[in-house]
Structure 1
Amino acid sequence: MRFVPVGLGATHSPYQPMWELQRAVHGEVADGTRDDTVLLVEHEPVYTAGRRTHLAERPQDGTPVVDIDRGGKVTWHGPGQLVAYPIVRLRAPIDVVAYVRTLEQAVMDVCEGLGLHPVRVDGLTGVWLPADDRAGERKICSIGVRVARGVTMHGLALNCDPDLGQFGRIVPCGIPDADMTSLSRELGRDVTVLETAPLLEAALRDRLADVVVSRDGAPDEVPAALP
């Protein structure tokens, strides 16, 4: 499995070229000509809407939204948020829910390693911090995926040190009373994307090993379409 940081720490990547890159890598992984690949990126500010997004859940101030083919609803990506796009072949029989739980657990491992104690919330996707004397349940990581030809696309967005006010223009993930949080807010210090990336890579490498098809010998070069 190859982890590819796309401009991480140097640039904020626009969404559309990354989506095109995902599709190119997905086709090669599905064809068996490329090893499983995880793209790590920090985006320019953008709102993306999954297939279940309702009109009332979109920004109402004219803010542009990119409609995409993942599950889930509307969310924000931007500076200070570490986004991982695992493009991996799942073992048969395909169990998308189990795959999502694997992504959640990898993020929970990262949070635990930093001293936080995240939880899952029944009926909701993503990783949350439990209610305490400071605030109610709050979401620290959003997850939305698609599986085609047995290979995954899209992935997770972990809030490191973003401007959380950007979530105020939307109904995050379609949950009207969801509060969003970040590693920096919870830990009371600046936790950057660059600090978090190797922790997330290690956790994903460990957890994904349980759900992906093991393949050796496929080329690991990144397509020339990298932005």
Structure 2
Amino acid sequence: MNCDAIQKLLSWKCEPAGERAFKLTSPISLGVDGELLSVYLAYPDDGTIYMTDAGQCLMHARAHGIKISKQRMDYLNRTEGTQFARFAMSGEIEVETSINNAESALWDVVKLALNSAFHYPKWRPKFHEVKFEQTVREYLAKEFGKDSLTRNYEVTGLSGKIIEFPMLLKTNGKDYLIQTLASDGDNYDWTRIYSIHGKFSDIKRTSLPAKRLTIIEKSSSKQLGTIKTFLSEVTEATLLENAVNAIAA
């Protein structure tokens, strides 16, 4: 190992990508799959520079089952030490600045990309939660018909934030915003429970006429009663086997 070898290891690959534009491929992996971060750079004049990842980070996250929502983009845009780069509403990391800031702006793109990847373990849906959500969806579709369900339904809370629920059920002239809560063996994830409470609390204070329902996976946990009581402040909470009766009530 010597300085030349180290420099080669850390170097970026640069190739033309049109008039006054380049594609930069970094030596930095976005995750354990080895995909390398790429940044497109353009300077339409001698004073301005544009950069973008062309949505690579967003698509990479989706490939791992992770959704980069507006709230998460807002969070990532507050990454410490970044000044020139940001996630745009399109999901792309973007830069528009003076060409004199090119080096700092490029590293800002790297910081946002890495911060996104660092959150994969936290943001990746847990298998048992995804599995139970699918079980609930299939159960309700069988009982009320596939056309009665809308997946990944979004509403605006009193806070002004866009809140997504796994599904909206329409039946008998009523709308039901449905959230699921899976068990992990004999336990429930209280972080998720607090999140569900917060989501429904934000909705409860609006004029939205939809009913609020949390469907819980059965387990032998002694906390089940406590969970139902806690959630009852903002949503009806019931086990899957009692969901049809709760909806028909």
What TM-score results when the alignment is normalised by the length of structure 2? Answer: 0.23
Higher normalized strand content (fraction of residues): 2
Higher normalized helix content (fraction of residues): 2
Q: RCO higher in 1 or 2 (8 Å CA, sep ≥ 6)?
A: 1
What TM-score results when the alignment is normalised by the length of structure 1? Answer: 0.24
